[in-house]
Structure 1
Amino acid sequence: MNYRRKAFWLGTAAAALSVSVGAHAQDSQSAPGGTAAGDAAMGDEIVVTAQKREQNLQNVPVSVSVLSASALSDNRVSGLEQLSQVSPSIGFTNSANTRGQGLSIRGIGTLNFSDGVEPSVSTVIDGVVIGRSAASFFDFNDIERIEVLRGPQGTLFGKNSSAGALNVVTGKPDLYDSSLEASASYGTFDDVRLKATGSVVLDQGRAALRLSGFRSKADGIITNTADGRKLNDNDSWGVRGKLLFEPSDVTSIYVIGDYGESNRNCCVSTVRSVMPTTTYYNGETRADLLADQQLGPLNREVTIDGDYFNHQKTGGASVEVNTELGGQTITSITAYREFQVFDNNDPDGVPLPVISLNNARQKQRQFTQELRLTSPAGEPIEYVAGLYYFWQDVVSRTQVKGKLVVNLPGDLYLGNQVDRDITTKNVAAFGQVTGHLTDSLSLIGGFRFTSEQAVAHFDRTILPGAVAAMPSLGGPAYVAPTLKATDTDLSYKLGVQYQATPDVMAYFTYTRGYKGPALNLLNNLTAVTVDAGLAVLKPEIARNWEAGIRTTLFDRMLTLNVTGFYETFTDFQAQTYSAILTSFQLTNAGKLITQGAEVEAILRPADGLSLTGNLAFTDTEVRGLIVSCYAGQSAAQGCVGGRQDVTGEALTNAPKWAWTLNANYGADIGNDLRGSANLSFTWRSKTLFGYRDPNTAQPGYGLLNGRVSLETQDGRYRLSLFGKNLTNRHFASFIGAGLLDTSAAGAGYTQLLTPDAFRTFGVEGTVRF
């Protein structure tokens, strides 16, 4: 811990030194962008930082869409796991805990329980990369906007962004005006959400403080009939503080600290179907044990004897310094973050101790330092160049306990404990140059040189008190030799941009992305795997060809953007599950392909009315990936020796079609009041959660959300009524074979449900001063 603290303060000292240099540079020409990007937007412009500088979205040669604070609020989107409801290019796959959940972009994403495999979709919060996927699942609090960057973003965003990145920007203190905003809402499932944000001017034009906090609580939507408890609930809170200080016209210092907790009884699966022949160690059948449940897609009951919980803590601090020297902007971002989680689930789904304990305690710590040099905008040559350092340490302990299929007498059980840790270091140099050959034609070139190192330890023992190891989910006692993975890589980007008119821009880019080697730290790691060199997965290489056109038409009444892409992944780091072996497996897929088009449109046909539409057509294909057969799969259906080659199949949970439509209207209605209404609809086409397994199919579905509001014309008071999933379209966020509920003939299936799968209503009040 002392090392991390020293590193943090050394980074801060380096940042302070750069401030000292910049404060004495009297020849600077402009101030360093201390204002929030949202405040920089003029008229209908949308300002983004997708290229590490503030730019009008219509001038950025990147496939990026922006989700504003109002879009998130209107659709009651409170976390990353709900973004797929407002952004058709994003996918989310649920799991029994946050460690196994995952996001995807254009159908590509990493779903993995191994501590040695990092996400392919990066989450960046106020310039700080989040090293673990689980640490990204937090309640949205004081969010200004989210930029969805599609395709490899490694040149500028680096680590964990081979499939894309989510650039989350939170609200910034205001140096000139103090303000306060608070809201409270109540909805179905006793869903209570409280939020407050205040910005205080400490020194006019020089220093301001912003504080925000939230509290969310909702009843669970699943009932455990064994004890009456409600599961899959919500219980979280968090705070964030920010200090913005501008000691001179060319220097700003931005300090951020945040902390949050989530204590949920989640994430339990309900049973859709059972195999009539499934019988447990004591002779009881699964069908008899679950006879009182109404099995099927709408089942909201479980009957279990084990516990379900997910206790999560996340926090950190960062210091961002911007200063100018000779017209160049120097940026330093120094950050330290921690993440802790303790979770357990009862995966057997019955009131017997088949596997009643399946838990994990994990702690992650990370330190990052980014130093960046940015040229002035509008020059013949514009560039961004920098250095980046990332250090991460993940320590975890997992335990599994139960009788499994053995009829042990009394309280005897099988069990394993697995202790592991992994330390990762990543050092990179990066840069991107845009050369404006003429007023219309520009060339783009970028690179990132990365050096990656990971060192891990793995120790599996018999759980104290157990009579033997737990097969499949554990194994015999085993201490692996130190596992190491090192690699260097040069990723890059090339492109051309053409500004045909002030309102029409086209571009073409080729990008080579990269994600470093991974380590297999799953519970069932064996000496055979390690000795064969299969515990180290190859790096993941992405290649993306992309063309786009950005237009603003009819006197700015219509904004229409179209992007086409062809993207390949070589040696994609994949995790598959065998229902027969009841175990997860890690492998490099031979090749993944995702190709398609993205269309985004904003129409402003009349004062107060705006219509938006987003379409994503994503055609995915996997090649050279061999996985376990699904239960009941025949030779005619591709199963040979318990394995199947899924070459030619679409990726799991990757809908071919997804689109959203949104309508907003607001108008003054007299008596110093203003009314507004929002209506949005999201559609996602059919997907499979398991390769070729028709029983894991989620049919296509659409979600209709709405909100009506009445507020004072000065914006101080507002009352809103909202509804989500108004047509009550049910859907699952994951479907899979039930644990030990398989045979040669087939399997029973389980599903994960969220509150968004049911119609909900509520009311919200907001005050602003």
Structure 2
Amino acid sequence: MKHIKNLKYTVLASAIACSLANAQEADTSEATKSEGFEVILVEAQRTTQNLQEVPVSVQVLYGGDLEDQNINELTQLSALAPTLQMGQDNTFAIRGIGSQIFAETIDPSVALAIDGVSLGRNALAGQPFNDIASVEVLNGPQGLLFGKNASAGLVNITTQRPILDEYSGKVSFEYNLRDTTPTDATGQIFKGTFNMPVTDKSALRVNVLYSDQDPLIDNVFPNDGVRTDLGQEKRGIKAKYLYMDGPLSIYLLADYNTNDGTGERYGRTFRDVDPASELVDLLAADNIVPGPENMINNSDGAMFRDVETGGAQAEISYMFENGIEMVNIVAWRYFESDTNLHNDFSSKRDIVDNPNVNDYEQVSNELRFIFPETDFYSGQAGLFYFNSTSDIVDQLDVEGPPAFIAVGFPFCVGAEISGPPPGCPYSNDVFLGNDSITELVQTSYAAFGQFDFFLSDKLTATAGARVTVDDISTDVLQMQRDYFIGIGGPRGRFVESVDNTNISWKLGMQYQQSDDLMFYGSVGQGYKAPGFNTDNQGNDNIPFAVEDEVSTTIEAGFKSTLLDNKLIFNVSVFNTNFDNYQAQSFNLDAQAFIIQNAATVTSRGAEISARAMVSDNLTVYWEASVLDSSFDEFDAASCTPDSTECGPDDAFFDASGYSTPLAADFTSNLQAKYERELTEDMYGFVNAALYYRSDISYGIGSPSTELDAITTFNISAGIETMDGLQVTVFCNNCTDEKYPFSIAFDPGENNAGMASTQQSWGLNSVRSIGISVSQTF
């Protein structure tokens, strides 16, 4: 039955706004001990602004917020940001929209920026959560000011800059135990930050990180002589140099990181197995019981993932005498990955080898001019250049009959050429498989600007636009080996290019009713570049090129500060329509995952953010998201074995009206922080967080990929001394609500029409108990 949701919650916004407007007249002159919240600064519009004056839906988290909840990975961020969800292969969705796509030839819909640089791929992030200044989750299209591909939203990470004239630093160590995993997994994280002056006008800041996390799942198959690295070991170093001399600022950054092991990205087990599958007996032989809490597999192949990332960037800022600031950021980043995944995650005679090597590098330059505020306007304008090259080598080998049979006719796998049948007139490399060598080159140019026009003391109009020219080309050499059954299309070389010009824009109004209450509304378009399918070229069932994706968003809201700045209450409502939405599905005819434009999608809802200083000791935070995201038109969604919309011979069905993946109706995070002085030299603290997410689906119209609502509870407590020593004990997901961050059909089983699903486990999926110790100096 199609799921078409009825959104009712957003009508509360206008009633709340009226109440807040009246509340401004209330007498707040009574003396109190506390002065209320400090100004919350954000970079949501590429300049430093007060959160309460920014007409954008944004959630900001400081480094201390991440430390309070022991958040160390991007994959854990969704526990604090209700609008953000994580899917398979570390993909993200905001407001129910994201590129749940395996291919490296398609850009994400949720962009990632670190220290002012937009990243073409999430793998470029390195070790992002070390020495954090702030993390901003910006909801809705953000590409106008942030560069590449943010049609659904943006995660903007800023690390701490060097501090002039100061020797300082911090070292920390964390130990955690995930006691409800079959491996009794443990983890250790060491972080170090050192800040030192170089001259009276410059300083150097160095970050180091080492992390070692045990596997969350247990592989019981004896893989002697085969590399099976299911844990995750990370190392990283980042150096930052800042020079400031009057109007001139030079900021240089360089980093190098390694990440070894499949970790949580490929921690997969069977959730359900079709009764007719041979997997039933194979799993039972190893005492593996598929189910929602199964964390054991018996994979008989190589499993590893080695990633190296790094880069360098330079930011030069100069303030002219007329108040105009010029900022130029040039950056180079790269990653190299070497992966082998035994994707059937069982001892079934199936996948033998599945290696993938990807070398990616990007160069970008952004020049911006920030104009000072006058009586009439303020704003910024700039130019942007981006170029990336990705070289991908992909291969899949699948076993057939036993070797003593496969060597003979008609299979002739690894055979000696011995003449016509019953001999072998040829020799195949593999029974079934595919291979491809792909080069993808992306070049993007853009000119952009956004200006605020002060129509009166209270009313401001905003207008902005971005002209983007994309030139994308791919060169694919595929099926160069010999197969008894080839599933990668015809042998050959396929070259294609796509040129596209887009104008994205934004118009908005902002009304400052008082110092404590602001209303805003806007309409604008976002853009995501075209891309390509990675293999199966020359197959009529698979489009080579995928068209660009365009989103149109209407957003309105208010931001308020009440009770002598002790209560911050913000609400936004939105409606976004996506045209040519890029979606991935499994094509039964081609026996492969393909990317296609899924016609239209609508995402609508509301976001609520509240901060309350209940007393001098107690602060409460609440973030909530109400969402309705569904396909308006998608008549080529792939049939799955459990789909009620498909007949026995159908490959596709009409998914119009179905929810998009990763779109929870309601998500909420409630936090409380209590601090109290224990002695003159020490204070204690307790942090607690309650996270709720309603039902969610990881597929389209597929009951087997749905996950029931979850509720998790985190708590930590500790002490901090005046000398900078902090000791914290913590428990995350204390009730051990086991939940995967992805559910998907096993490709091989899906090919055979069997409803067998795999689930992926992450660091938030199970209870974690631990202790962290840090020393600031």
Please give the TM-score of this superposition, normalised by the length of structure 1.
Answer: 0.88
1:568 matched to which residue of 2?
Answer: 577
Q: For the structure 1 residues 107 and 641, does the alpha-carbon distance in structure 2 shift closer, same or farther, using more than 3 Å as the test? A: same
Residue 153 (structure 2) aligned to one of 147, 153, 164 = 164
Q: For the structure 1 residues 678 and 632, does the alpha-carbon distance in structure 2 shift closer, same or farther, using more than 3 Å as the test? A: closer
- SS of the residue corresponding to residue 715 of structure 2 reads strand
2:661 matched to which residue of 1?
Answer: 652
2:199 matched to which residue of 1?
Answer: 203
1:98 matched to which residue of 2?
Answer: none
Residue 233 (structure 2) aligned to one of 218, 226, 235 = 235
Mapped contact 2:587–2:651 kept (Cα < 8 A)? no
2:32 matched to which residue of 1?
Answer: none
**Aligned-partner residue type, residue 628 of structure 1:** S
1:577 matched to which residue of 2?
Answer: 586
CA apart distance, 1:335: 0.6
**Aligned-partner residue type, residue 71 of structure 1:** D
Mapped contact 2:740–2:760 kept (Cα < 8 A)? yes
Mapped contact 1:160–1:515 kept (Cα < 8 A)? yes
1:588 matched to which residue of 2?
Answer: 597
2:167 matched to which residue of 1?
Answer: 178
Provide Cα deviations, 1:86-122, integer angstroms capped at 9, x if missing partner.
Answer: 1000011023xxxxx3111101111222232111111
CA apart distance, 1:646: 0.5
Mapped contact 1:575–1:586 kept (Cα < 8 A)? yes
Q: For the structure 1 residues 624 and 235, does the alpha-carbon distance in structure 2 shift closer, same or farther, using more than 3 Å as the test? A: same
Counterpart check, 1:478 vs 2:492 = yes
Mapped contact 1:455–1:485 kept (Cα < 8 A)? yes
Mapped contact 1:462–1:476 kept (Cα < 8 A)? no
Residue 262 (structure 1) aligned to one of 244, 259, 262 = 259
Counterpart check, 1:434 vs 2:452 = yes
1:55 matched to which residue of 2?
Answer: 49
Mapped contact 1:94–1:102 kept (Cα < 8 A)? yes
Counterpart check, 1:253 vs 2:250 = yes
**Aligned-partner residue type, residue 736 of structure 2:** N
2:370 matched to which residue of 1?
Answer: 374
- SS of the residue corresponding to residue 356 of structure 1 reads strand
Following the alignment from structure 1 to structure 2, what is the Cα–Cα distance between the partners of residues 494 and 591? 23
1:340 matched to which residue of 2?
Answer: 336
- SS of the residue corresponding to residue 748 of structure 2 reads strand
Mapped contact 1:347–1:356 kept (Cα < 8 A)? no
**Aligned-partner residue type, residue 605 of structure 2:** G
CA apart distance, 1:203: 2.3
Mapped contact 1:334–1:368 kept (Cα < 8 A)? yes
CA apart distance, 1:642: 2.6
CA apart distance, 1:640: 7.0
**Aligned-partner residue type, residue 640 of structure 2:** Y
Mapped contact 1:529–1:535 kept (Cα < 8 A)? no
- SS of the residue corresponding to residue 764 of structure 2 reads helix
Residue 641 (structure 1) aligned to one of 631, 642, 650 = 650
CA apart distance, 1:590: 0.7
2:555 matched to which residue of 1?
Answer: 546
- SS of the residue corresponding to residue 746 of structure 2 reads strand
Q: For the structure 1 residues 639 and 121, does the alpha-carbon distance in structure 2 shift closer, same or farther, using more than 3 Å as the test? A: farther
Provide Cα deviations, 1:403-439, integer angstroms capped at 9, x if missing partner.
Answer: 2579853675333321000111100000001011111
1:311 matched to which residue of 2?
Answer: 306
Provide Cα deviations, 1:679-734, integer angstroms capped at 9, x if missing partner.
Answer: 0111111011121211111111011111101111x251111101110011011111
Following the alignment from structure 1 to structure 2, what is the Cα–Cα distance between the partners of residues 643 and 428? 38
Following the alignment from structure 2 to structure 1, what is the Cα–Cα distance between the partners of residues 491 and 357? 20
- The range that moved more, 110-119 or 337-346, is 110-119
- SS of the residue corresponding to residue 740 of structure 1 reads helix
Following the alignment from structure 2 to structure 1, what is the Cα–Cα distance between the partners of residues 614 and 36? 19
- SS of the residue corresponding to residue 83 of structure 1 reads helix
**Aligned-partner residue type, residue 245 of structure 1:** Y
2:410 matched to which residue of 1?
Answer: none
Provide Cα deviations, 1:623-681, integer angstroms capped at 9, x if missing partner.
Answer: 2212121104345x678723211100110121111010000011111152110110011
Following the alignment from structure 2 to structure 1, what is the Cα–Cα distance between the partners of residues 231 and 560? 44
Query: Unpaired runs of 5+ in structure 1?
Result: 1-40, 96-100, 280-284
CA apart distance, 1:177: 2.2
CA apart distance, 1:311: 0.8
2:120 matched to which residue of 1?
Answer: 131
**Aligned-partner residue type, residue 165 of structure 2:** Y
CA apart distance, 1:200: 0.7
1:287 matched to which residue of 2?
Answer: 281
1:7 matched to which residue of 2?
Answer: none
CA apart distance, 1:579: 6.8
Q: For the structure 1 residues 288 and 263, does the alpha-carbon distance in structure 2 shift closer, same or farther, using more than 3 Å as the test? A: closer
Provide Cα deviations, 1:549-604, integer angstroms capped at 9, x if missing partner.
Answer: 00000110100000000001000111112578642011101101100000000000
Residue 102 (structure 2) aligned to one of 106, 110, 113 = 113
Q: For the structure 1 residues 91 and 580, does the alpha-carbon distance in structure 2 shift closer, same or farther, using more than 3 Å as the test? A: farther
Please give the TM-score of this superposition, normalised by the length of structure 2.
Answer: 0.88
- SS of the residue corresponding to residue 307 of structure 1 reads coil
Counterpart check, 1:627 vs 2:637 = yes
CA apart distance, 1:211: 0.4
Mapped contact 2:228–2:302 kept (Cα < 8 A)? no
Residue 747 (structure 1) aligned to one of 736, 752, 755 = 755
CA apart distance, 1:264: 0.9
2:75 matched to which residue of 1?
Answer: 81
Mapped contact 1:274–1:287 kept (Cα < 8 A)? no
- SS of the residue corresponding to residue 383 of structure 1 reads strand
Provide Cα deviations, 1:284-311, integer angstroms capped at 9, x if missing partner.
Answer: x642454321221111211121111111
- SS of the residue corresponding to residue 272 of structure 2 reads coil
Query: Unpaired runs of 5+ in structure 2?
Result: 1-34, 178-184, 408-412, 415-429
Following the alignment from structure 1 to structure 2, what is the Cα–Cα distance between the partners of residues 491 and 131? 19
Map 1:675-754 → 2, pairs under 5 A: 675-712=684-721, 714-742=722-750, 746-754=754-762
**Aligned-partner residue type, residue 136 of structure 2:** E
Mapped contact 1:158–1:448 kept (Cα < 8 A)? no
1:447 matched to which residue of 2?
Answer: 465
2:506 matched to which residue of 1?
Answer: 493
Q: For the structure 1 residues 288 and 581, does the alpha-carbon distance in structure 2 shift closer, same or farther, using more than 3 Å as the test? A: farther
What's the Cα RMSD here?
A: 2.1
Following the alignment from structure 2 to structure 1, what is the Cα–Cα distance between the partners of residues 439 and 552? 31
**Aligned-partner residue type, residue 276 of structure 2:** T
Report % sequence identity. 29
CA apart distance, 1:81: 1.4
Following the alignment from structure 1 to structure 2, what is the Cα–Cα distance between the partners of residues 566 and 404? 51
Counterpart check, 1:351 vs 2:340 = no
**Aligned-partner residue type, residue 276 of structure 1:** P
CA apart distance, 1:743: 8.1
Mapped contact 1:219–1:230 kept (Cα < 8 A)? no
- The range that moved more, 261-270 or 180-189, is 261-270
Following the alignment from structure 2 to structure 1, what is the Cα–Cα distance between the partners of residues 763 and 148? 33
Counterpart check, 1:512 vs 2:525 = yes
What is the total number of aligned residue pairs between the two structures? 706
- SS of the residue corresponding to residue 87 of structure 1 reads coil
- SS of the residue corresponding to residue 528 of structure 1 reads coil
**Aligned-partner residue type, residue 675 of structure 2:** G
Counterpart check, 1:756 vs 2:770 = no
